[in-house]
Amino acid sequence: MKKIIITLTAAALLSGCSVKIPFINEKPEEKAEQNPQLVERNEQTKENYGSNQSNEELFALEAAHFNSIKEVNGVKEIVNADNVLALVNKEFALPGTYIPEDLVKPNVQFSFGEQDIEKSYLRKEAAVALEKMFAAAENSNIYLFAVSGYRSYNRQVAILNNEIERVGKDQAMQAVAIPGKSEHQTGLAMDISSESVQYLLTDNFGETKEGKWLKENAHHFGFILRYPKDKEGITGYQFEPWHFRYVGEKNAQIMYKNNWTLEEFFKEVRKI
């Protein structure tokens, strides 16, 4: 079997938009047949990550996909912000001026309808993957709604200030990222919900059939559940069953298989 070198083809966190929408999608009642798209992806995963694959081969990552950091006023800023594997968290921040150059609006259903607004955008690679994921879900009679994607630095400032006013600083900091430290600014994260929870961003989403489907299948399309339950001490954020981050298919499959967060992934991979 050929050696696998992790590569990428290109280069938190509330949305503040948990709203109901006026239209209701009618769903077919018949039982979904097994999704051939997912069957094919499962077989590909087995082929790529078979038992004969050594950890040394599997966990090699090109240096360009590690954060390149410079300190600005005591903040560790990510220089290579276009890196699809950029590790954005409470330790590492994006520059306040960073705006992805390849933002596009994915052709999926949104909780706020057809409005063309900032949070409906993602970076192109992530947007294409999101479209494939939503289509595969629909083939299994799972109907997903995008709630909040790209978010600018200034928008994050407003969201954090509003949350501090509402619940106080300590509680707000557990749920809303400091401006510059939100994954939404990368253009690689999307908050996802469903009609079954009134399109809200809520822990209850994780117990729905839609939330369960995403948790078990998002990695086939390059997305990870970024803030899982019982990993709060690692990610620094509370459980968010709605927040999915694009990292590329091979990387997502490795993280899913090993039950790793993005932080844990970077502790395991070696730089080449």
The CATH number of residue 114's host domain is 3.30.1380.10
Segment 115-138 mean pLDDT: 98
At 183, phi and psi to the nearest 5?
Answer: -65, -25
Nearest 5°: the CA angle 100, 105, 78 is 20
Measured distance CA(185)–CA(264) in Å, rounded: 21
Where in the sequence is the domain holding 259, given as residue range(s)? 36-42+61-66+74-271
**Residue 26 within a domain:** no
**Residue 27 within a domain:** no
- Range of weakest confidence among 2-6, 46-50, 160-164, 189-193: 2-6
pLDDT for the residue numbered 20: 32
Q: What is the DSSP letter of 22?
A: S
How many structural domains are present in the chain?
Answer: 1
Computed on alpha carbons and rounded to an integer, the radius of gyration of the chain in Å comes to 18
What proportions of the chain, in percent to the nearest 5, are helix, strand and coil?
40, 15, 45
pLDDT for the residue numbered 55: 62
**Residue 8 within a domain:** no
Q: pLDDT: is 150 or 47 the higher one?
A: 150
pLDDT for the residue numbered 121: 98
Helix ranges restricted to H, 78-201? 124-139, 153-167, 169-175
**Residue 266 within a domain:** yes
Average pLDDT, the chain: 85
pLDDT for the residue numbered 180: 96
At 9, phi and psi to the nearest 5?
Answer: -90, -10
Which residues, 6+ apart, have CB-to-CB distance to 230 below 8 Å?
A: 239
Exactly one of 77, 195, 210, 240 is catalytic; name it.
240
**Residue 86 within a domain:** yes
pLDDT for the residue numbered 13: 36
Measured distance CA(217)–CA(237) in Å, rounded: 22
Q: pLDDT: is 8 or 34 the higher one?
A: 34
Give catalytic status of residue 240 as yes or no. Answer: yes
**Residue 17 within a domain:** no
